[in-house]
Structure 1
Amino acid sequence: MQLVLPKGKVRTTHIVLFPFLLQAISIVFPIFLIMEITVNHQPHQLKDTCSVEQMLSIVLSGAVKGIAVAINQTIVSKSNWSSHLLKEGDQVMLIKATQGG
């Protein structure tokens, strides 16, 4: 059985197999919660606990050099990327530095 919760969160519950047996066999499945964030105006679903660093490795296919990250209009220092955890509904803006003239 699968229950769909608001904002894309999914929770699975246990299923009773062979209820006709004297001792029903019950299988419990783990619960995986998924959060939805917005990255540069695009929705992304991530596991419930995800750092900025983990999000970047999922969202960006290449290197993260020259990237600035703002979450809910607040810049997050690169030194805090591994410890800053994202929350449901966060608005993330990725800004890539480019050179030119």
Structure 2
Amino acid sequence: MSEVMNVLVNGSAEQIDAGATVADVVDRWARSPIGVAVAVNEAVVTKTNWSGTTLTEGDRVEIVTAVQGG
């Protein structure tokens, strides 16, 4: 049985695997990584750092997708 941890994703309490990265969360909650910005605990995480940023218990993750339109 794998360990899980609790985080907030866009304000919703979620359980993710312990050791999950920002990239893992984006893969699970975003339709596509194109046009996506992520902040963890109110600090922006650049796309080049997603796979190297490991989340911890209680982190607050905000995933924002840019939408074009008029």
Q: TM-score by structure 2 length?
A: 0.89
Local SS of the residue matching 1:70 = strand
CA shift, 1:32, in A, is: 2.5
Query: Which consecutive residues of structure 1, in runs of 5 or more, have no partner in the other structure?
Result: 1-30
In structure 1, how many angstroms separate the alpha carbons of the residues matched to 2:59 and 2:69?
Answer: 31
| Whole-angstrom CA distance in 2 between matches of 1:96 and 1:32 | 30
How many pairs were matched up? 70
Q: Could you say which structure has the greater relative contact order, defined with CA pairs below 8 angstroms and 6 or more residues apart?
A: 2
Equivalent residue in structure 2 for 1:75, among 21, 33, 44: 44
Q: Runs in 1 of length 4+ with deviation above 3 angstroms?
A: none
Provide the C-alpha distance between the structure 1 equivalents of 2:62 and 2:13, rounded to a whole number of angstroms.
12
Report percent identity of matched pairs: 34
Question: Structure 2: any 5+ residue segments left out of the alignment?
Answer: none
Over aligned residue pairs, what C-alpha RMSD do you find? 1.2
Question: Is the 8 Å Cα contact of residues 26 and 63 (structure 2) preserved in structure 1?
Answer: no
Residue 59 of structure 1, CA deviation: 2.1
Which secondary structure state, in structure 1, belongs to the residue aligned with residue 24 of structure 2?
Answer: helix
